[in-house]
Structure 1
Amino acid sequence: MAATTPQGSVRQRNVGGSSKKNKDGISAASSDVELDKIVKAARTLASAAGSEYDYKIVGVIITALAFLTRFWGISHPNEVVFDEVHFGKFASYYLQKTYFFDVHPPFGKLLFAFMGWLVGYDGHFHFENIGDSYIANKVPYVAFRSLPAILGALTVSVVYLIMWESGYSLPACIVAAGLILLDNAHIGQTRLILLDATLVFAMACSLLCYIKFYKLRHEPFSRKWWKWLILTGFALSCDMSTKYVGLFAFITIGSAVAIDLWELLDIKRPGGTLSLPDFSKHFAARAFGLILMPFLFYLFWFQVHFSILTRSGPGDDFMTPEFQETLSDNVMLSNAITINYYDSITLKHKETKAYLHSHAERYPLRYDDGRVSSQGQQVTGYPFNDTNNYWQILPVQVDQKVDHPVKNHELVRLRHLVTDTYLLSHDVASPYYPTNQEFTTVPQADAYGDRVADTLFEIRIENGKPNQEFKTISSHFKLIHNPSKVAMWTHTTPLPDWGHKQQEINGNKQIAPSSNVWLIEDIPSIPADHPRRAKPEKEVKTLPFLRKWFELQRSMFWHNNQLTSSHPYASLPFQWPFLLRGVSFWTQNDTRQQIYFLGNPIGWWIASSVLAIYAGIVLADQFSLRRGIDALDHRSRSRLYNSTGFFFLAWATHYFPFYVMGRQLFLHHYLPAHLASTLVTGALVEFIFSADSTDLELAHQAAKSGKKGFAIKRHVTARERFAGQSMMGAWIATFAILALAFAGWYFFLPLTYGYPGLTVEQVVRRKWLGYDLHFAK
């Protein structure tokens, strides 16, 4: 007759006072007593690591502290700070339904607009300048700032839950969450109207949801399994729908999923062999939950974006004329005029806003590099309206009617009115681009004589239809030189003094780029009261959603890639883990107050050092295995490579891609990677300061298999290591790390919260790595 203990161990009753001995010479009764001690040792270990009640209590405390650190003094300063000029403005545009353009997807900005709508804000303030008063302009800025503060506080809780769900001890959970709780960068970025709180929160949620999904791998296709798979996809979608760098979370989760699927293919896997049809179901489910569903959510936010922004606004210029005509009050609907032959026009480059210009001066005989020019009349780009910008559009056939409209794909000539010469391009290298053709002008005799072909240009309207009429403003076009098939193009590098520092105009052999696009701004030859300038009411047009979405995507990606200019507070990826510099957000000279975006140096240096330690441990373990030395038990190695390895993967995929980016980069780009580094730190605290679990694991295995004598020999050491010194060491390490982090947070607190103001001496004391702080003298 067997009796089952609450712990699930089965023991044989000692009937009739029998005192049988096992092969180790120890009585069965004595073995039972010793096994009870093993159970107590395990209970002691669990108590030292933290009971579920302890986890919940600590979680509540950490969450409360997170809200306190994020909301404390959130109303200061009561002025526009740093990039609040952008994201606050975008929220106002949403509330006024005014079309705007931004390089980031709409989800994070929609959340700000929703918060403004909740508090009854009408979007009247446009956040034009840093330092503009919120109080004077009656802006509910605390409500706006509360959104990122809430998400920032909940991020701390999510980090704690990630460690808890991953099975780490209470000290490990506290270390990881504590480093985010006491980090000045995370606090500073989540107390202002900025997108990064949403980005980091969504990234953390994606890790948490995937961990919960992975824990259900032995219950595939169950309701909970599907729930956490879909929630992982939703979190990933919110991440990428806030900023495109959220794609890095897809790489993290995608890499983990690829490894998981590879394991499922293994015919010798412990859970049993999967047939190929069953494997296909697993693959399809993950593709649906982590690719298709996130993409549909991503499209949904753009649909909301287009549905709200129905009025013409500052973003019109970034879109095609067809797109602009879907917006009410659009200037194209009211001001577009059909261009007829013999009209005088001004041509404007869409990207640089320069006018097509010419003047009597000629190209020099030789350029600085020794190349010879045509010495023809200069054709340049000029930023101001001037009579030298006037060109007459002429037909190829001289007998063409005056009032005949110019149409798409027709050949035309352009006559420069002031100098009475004709635009021409030929096979002569341009001043700055030896591969591009020179643009010049020639007299009428040449234009209608031997060089007639070189003066012919094709009007090629972007997305135009055959025989579509050519119009001012709305017809964005490329001017293609007919014989050579080059596109008229300009750029911002100024010509030397001989060209009056104006822009070079040349013929680009690459016709496809959007930088070749021009538009006709006006027809100066038409008087203001001319019937052609009448503005009859026109119907707002519509475009299919996907066409609008593709167009916006192209424009967003293109302009995002153009963010390559230098910035005084830009930084490089190698500087981030060491916190070599920050960003000045706001200053107030009268009070000597400033907000300087900077992480907690101590916390960042600890986390960065632990990353190096982790890499060293893995390399040492691999080297030992190569030499036949197995220094780790199965449980420790599995957690080191799988759980901690997943956190390290998250750090790497959110950090290293920045090295191949050419755009402006700032410290805040490291925040998701920093969060992952704190997870690695918490995991390493447990790994380093918790004793080897081999003894306890073997003891339990022996107990289950009946090898009681073996278990008795092992249990004392296991109990002492786990319940005593190991957890004590982990707690000591936890308190030491958090004490140092608290000191760093408190020391840099005035720079994070913007008050109190600091004296010169106090500012200088905080220039640890030469941080470019204000009021240092």
Structure 2
Amino acid sequence: MSDSPPSVRQRASKKKGTAQAVLNSGSGSNSEDELLSKKQKVSAPVPGAFGHAQGPFRIWLFLLTAAGIITRFYKISHPNEVVFDEVHFGKFASYYLQRTYFFDVHPPFGKLLFALMGWFVGYDGHFLFDNIGDSYIDNKVPYVAFRAMPAMLGALTVPVVFLTMWESGYSLPASIVAAGLVLFDNAHIGQTRLILLDATLIFSMACSLLCYVRFYKLRHLPFSRKWWKWLLLTGVALSCVISTKYVGVFTFVTIGAAVGIDLWNLLDIKRGLTIQEFTKHFIARAFGLIGIPFFFYLFWFQVHFAILYRSGPGDDFMTPEFQETLSDNIMTLNSVDIHYHDTIVIRHKETKAYLHSHPDKYPLRYEDGRISSQGQQVTGYPFEDVNNDWIIIPGDPTPEDSDKTSIVKNGDLVKLLHVVTNTILLSHDVASPYYPTNQEFTTIDIEAANTDRHNDTLFEIRIEGGKVKQDFRSMSGQFKLIHNPSKVAMWTHSKPLPDWAFKQQEINGNKNILQTSNLWFVENIPSLAAEDPRNVRTPKEVKSMPFLKKYFELQRTMFHHNNALTSSHPYSSQPIQWPFLLRGVSFWTKNDTREQIYFLGNPIGWWLASAVLAVFVGIVAADQLTQRRGVDALDRRTRSKLYNSTGFFFLAWAAHYLPFFLMGRQLFLHHYLPAHLASSLVTGALVEFVFCVEPLETEKVGKDGKKKYTPRSGPQSLAAAWAAAVVVIAAVAGGWYFFIPLTYGSPGLDVSQVVARQWLGYDLHFAK
């Protein structure tokens, strides 16, 4: 580099009192070691401000790690039954080991770790975790090994929190408080000792914060080996977060905001960087924090596709083209061409209901007073029935169409003749029973269908992703049935119709023809004669599909189904309830022994952390107000640490919490765990701010009339901070111990003991 930028002391004196949301970044020369040393002494939040000693630090690091392991592994074999969402993630591990394709709304990284653990212990994936309460012992499942993986990650999260505080320049009491809030939190313990993804998510999120802090501390050594190491490690940690659950994007927001302010400060001409040098900084961060995570994110999907090469329960979520890449796929094996005049059975892809009709009519008036056509009902029926049979005939017949070997093509106009009632499917401009904006589907007699209502009975076969004039096939030919005159798509949904339709599903014309829920497929051809050449099945070669095409298809499907998780759940909760711990989740119960696992945080720790968040906002607001009135209550380094370091932790809390208010999907208490970890960091930082009363530096006015700052290198008075830490940890440990029976599922409690733990009316079992 060229000239060295102004020192942090000079910059801070000019910008004193400026509020920044996250860690502020600087830049320096690689060669001017002496100047660098001075900068680090004055500005970097490195250990030393409180006379940090490596001996006590290492002792506490060891003790916290050991305590984390003990609290997470204690009674990990209990219960020896499937608990809560272990039915999902244990099942997915088994599917990986069986190489069977499945579908899930979460990325593959966390699930692959479970599969890896199963492979390590020689498990073959024979058990599919079908029901909560199924015995692991009877089914010979190495469940302790599965649970050990998240338990270890949960245990290691505790020292990572401690290290994050320590590397940010906080004292031992502050670091211990932050780590202790995670160590003795019943929710973190309960969620990280079961076969669930949250341990991987939270550990990766904590590592991302730690690695970024380490990277930031090297801001005066840009492009050095250590600088690159911690930048890339931050990217790898971020990739693990986003590759476990999509809510990991909130960690990207946290780091991204800090990096954005960092780059904005580097752009300041007073930093002495040329545009070329700034561009290097920008590209390096983009590569390390965007490129590297995205590369690993794609890599895990490649592993996912490589392992799951057999047909399985996830096939139905994918397109026929995707399914043809899976061996033993029933759709590929049983798919045959559909000819005109075949009798076919049509089924909805999403709800699995059959296109059905029966002689009963729509009522004259619906419950809301609207009038129907009183035509024959067309409904969705969930069971096999002769009323599901339809004959596909040409919409505008030509001499060639009389030949029964004429294959139906993509884009053809067809009519559907209901076999039992001998009527033709029709849609017209009459509102459907439940959707006034959607068209009614009914049937009419053949004579009317061939004369004045001819156009209303024409439907276009539009194969999803199909080529022009592609052959229409059973099973593999997923299609939309588009009403030709009105251009609505035949659609159904799961809400049952009233008794007049025997509680079957409504079929109507959807104006939004792009919806994937408009897809149908021909399940079978009942009219297919035994001697028909189409019954001769030849082995079909498994096809290949470009990775990116498979990746984008799976991404679309995952996002669609993730957003569709809007149904109610008895233990779901709202984000406003989480910081105050108003309710938990019942994971498991055993009536004989009155044992239960009730997912609940440590109320004392959660309420303290939530209160401290409000205190932090109040302190920042008060500081801003007093500065406006010319009152400077904080020394420069204390204010910098409050805004930059503690502010960074507060940003992490906000980024991992506030976005949930915008979501419409099912939400549970465990979604708050990453935010709770960030609030623990804020709590530890505020302990130091409140109880370490001595300033970090002495301010003096020099002979030239300018303020000079002398950092204090001697030991600080930490007695008050230690006392506060002891009180906090003792209270939190007491809360943890009191709720242990609900966290570990043992021992069972009598009625009075259960009632004593219903602090906020928690819906615990066995309270009577």
User: Shift of residue 403 of structure 1?
Assistant: 1.5
Q: Which amino acid aligns with 1:736?
A: V
Aligned to 2:95: 93
Aligned to 1:201: 203
Higher radius of gyration, 1 or 2: 1
CA contact (8 A) 1:633 1:692 kept: no
CA contact (8 A) 2:185 2:601 kept: yes
Aligned to 1:697: 698
Equivalent of 1:105 in 104, 107, 114: 107
For normalisation by structure 2, the TM-score amounts to: 0.91
Aligned to 1:575: 577
User: Shift of residue 104 of structure 1?
Assistant: 0.3
CA contact (8 A) 2:97 2:125 kept: yes
Q: Which amino acid aligns with 2:55?
A: Y
User: Shift of residue 697 of structure 1?
Assistant: 2.4
Equivalent of 1:63 in 44, 62, 65: 65
User: Shift of residue 265 of structure 1?
Assistant: 1.2
Q: How far, CA to CA, are the matches of 2:563 and 2:609 in structure 1?
A: 31
CA contact (8 A) 2:243 2:300 kept: yes
Aligned to 1:623: 625
Aligned to 2:187: 185
CA contact (8 A) 2:459 2:483 kept: yes
Equivalent of 1:643 in 627, 639, 645: 645
Equivalent of 2:725 in 734, 743, 746: 734
CA contact (8 A) 1:49 1:170 kept: no
Aligned to 1:502: 504
Q: Does 1:428 align with 2:430?
A: yes
Q: How far, CA to CA, are the matches of 2:225 and 2:592 in structure 1?
A: 60
Aligned to 2:757: 766
User: Shift of residue 278 of structure 1?
Assistant: 1.3
Q: Which amino acid aligns with 1:283?
A: F
CA contact (8 A) 1:410 1:458 kept: yes
Q: Does 1:315 align with 2:314?
A: yes
User: Shift of residue 487 of structure 1?
Assistant: 0.7
Consecutive unaligned residues of structure 2, counting only runs of 5 or more, are 1-46
Q: How far, CA to CA, are the matches of 1:697 and 1:56 in structure 2?
A: 30
CA deviation vs aligned residue, 1:641-666 (integer Å, no higher than 9, x gap)? 00000000000000000001011101
CA deviation vs aligned residue, 1:47-90 (integer Å, no higher than 9, x gap)? 97641221111111111111111111111111111111111111
Equivalent positions of 1:54-453 (< 5 A) are: 54-268=56-270, 272-395=271-394, 396-397=396-397, 399=399, 400=401, 401-453=403-455
For normalisation by structure 1, the TM-score amounts to: 0.90
User: Shift of residue 137 of structure 1?
Assistant: 1.1
User: Shift of residue 358 of structure 1?
Assistant: 1.0
Q: CA RMSD in A?
A: 1.9
Q: Does 1:747 align with 2:755?
A: no
Q: Which amino acid aligns with 2:384?
A: N
User: Shift of residue 458 of structure 1?
Assistant: 0.6
Q: How far, CA to CA, are the matches of 1:138 and 1:453 in structure 2?
A: 62
Aligned pairs, number? 717
Q: Look up the SS of the partner of 2:269 in the other structure.
A: coil
User: Shift of residue 472 of structure 1?
Assistant: 1.0
Q: How far, CA to CA, are the matches of 2:397 and 2:50 in structure 1?
A: 94
Q: How far, CA to CA, are the matches of 1:242 and 1:659 in structure 2?
A: 21
CA deviation vs aligned residue, 1:492-533 (integer Å, no higher than 9, x gap)? 222222222221111111110101100111111124675423
CA contact (8 A) 2:356 2:380 kept: yes
Q: How far, CA to CA, are the matches of 1:103 and 1:432 in structure 2?
A: 29
Q: Which amino acid aligns with 1:453?
A: N
CA contact (8 A) 1:565 1:664 kept: yes
Q: Which amino acid aligns with 2:162?
A: Y
User: Shift of residue 706 of structure 1?
Assistant: 13
Q: How far, CA to CA, are the matches of 1:747 and 1:369 in structure 2?
A: 54
Q: How far, CA to CA, are the matches of 2:616 and 2:535 in structure 1?
A: 72
Calculate percent identity across the aligned residue pairs: 70
Equivalent of 1:670 in 659, 669, 672: 672
Aligned to 1:599: 601
CA contact (8 A) 1:234 1:294 kept: yes
Q: Look up the SS of the partner of 1:89 in the other structure.
A: helix
Q: How far, CA to CA, are the matches of 1:371 and 1:508 in structure 2?
A: 19
Q: How far, CA to CA, are the matches of 2:482 and 2:133 in structure 1?
A: 47
CA deviation vs aligned residue, 1:243-281 (integer Å, no higher than 9, x gap)? 00000000000000011111111123xxx3211121111
Q: How far, CA to CA, are the matches of 1:183 and 1:496 in structure 2?
A: 49
Q: Which amino acid aligns with 1:371?
A: R
Aligned to 2:685: 683
Q: How far, CA to CA, are the matches of 2:682 and 2:49 in structure 1?
A: 24
Q: Does 1:757 align with 2:758?
A: no
User: Shift of residue 364 of structure 1?
Assistant: 2.3
CA contact (8 A) 2:346 2:520 kept: yes
CA contact (8 A) 1:175 1:738 kept: yes
Q: Look up the SS of the partner of 2:480 in the other structure.
A: strand
CA contact (8 A) 2:49 2:169 kept: no
Q: How far, CA to CA, are the matches of 1:535 and 1:129 in structure 2?
A: 37
CA contact (8 A) 2:483 2:490 kept: yes
CA deviation vs aligned residue, 1:463-500 (integer Å, no higher than 9, x gap)? 11122111111110000111111111111222222222
- Aligned CA distance change for structure 1 residues 172 and 345 (closer, same or farther; 3 Å): same
Q: How far, CA to CA, are the matches of 1:535 and 1:137 in structure 2?
A: 38
Q: How far, CA to CA, are the matches of 2:48 and 2:263 in structure 1?
A: 33
Q: Which amino acid aligns with 1:599?
A: G
Q: How far, CA to CA, are the matches of 1:123 and 1:93 in structure 2?
A: 7
Q: How far, CA to CA, are the matches of 2:694 and 2:630 in structure 1?
A: 19
- Aligned CA distance change for structure 1 residues 706 and 750 (closer, same or farther; 3 Å): farther
Aligned to 2:524: 522
- Aligned CA distance change for structure 1 residues 631 and 353 (closer, same or farther; 3 Å): same
CA deviation vs aligned residue, 1:80-128 (integer Å, no higher than 9, x gap)? 1111111111111101100000000000000000011111111111111
Q: How far, CA to CA, are the matches of 1:214 and 1:507 in structure 2?
A: 57
User: Shift of residue 585 of structure 1?
Assistant: 0.8
Consecutive unaligned residues of structure 1, counting only runs of 5 or more, are 1-44
Q: How far, CA to CA, are the matches of 1:582 and 1:372 in structure 2?
A: 47
CA contact (8 A) 1:49 1:727 kept: no
CA deviation vs aligned residue, 1:708-749 (integer Å, no higher than 9, x gap)? xx99xx99xx89xx857x411000000000000010000001
Q: Look up the SS of the partner of 2:718 in the other structure.
A: helix
Q: Look up the SS of the partner of 1:242 in the other structure.
A: coil
Q: How far, CA to CA, are the matches of 2:413 and 2:704 in structure 1?
A: 96
CA contact (8 A) 2:48 2:169 kept: no
Q: Look up the SS of the partner of 2:355 in the other structure.
A: strand
CA contact (8 A) 1:412 1:457 kept: yes
Q: Which amino acid aligns with 2:300?
A: W
Aligned to 1:776: 767
Q: How far, CA to CA, are the matches of 2:763 and 2:548 in structure 1?
A: 46
Q: Look up the SS of the partner of 1:697 in the other structure.
A: strand
Aligned to 2:8: none
CA contact (8 A) 2:239 2:297 kept: yes
Q: How far, CA to CA, are the matches of 2:531 and 2:642 in structure 1?
A: 79
Q: Look up the SS of the partner of 1:776 in the other structure.
A: coil
User: Shift of residue 439 of structure 1?
Assistant: 1.2
Further displaced range: 646-655 or 337-346: 337-346
Equivalent positions of 1:512-591 (< 5 A) are: 512-527=514-529, 530-591=532-593
Q: How far, CA to CA, are the matches of 1:598 and 1:420 in structure 2?
A: 60
CA contact (8 A) 2:332 2:475 kept: no
Q: How far, CA to CA, are the matches of 1:182 and 1:110 in structure 2?
A: 28
Q: How far, CA to CA, are the matches of 2:694 and 2:643 in structure 1?
A: 16
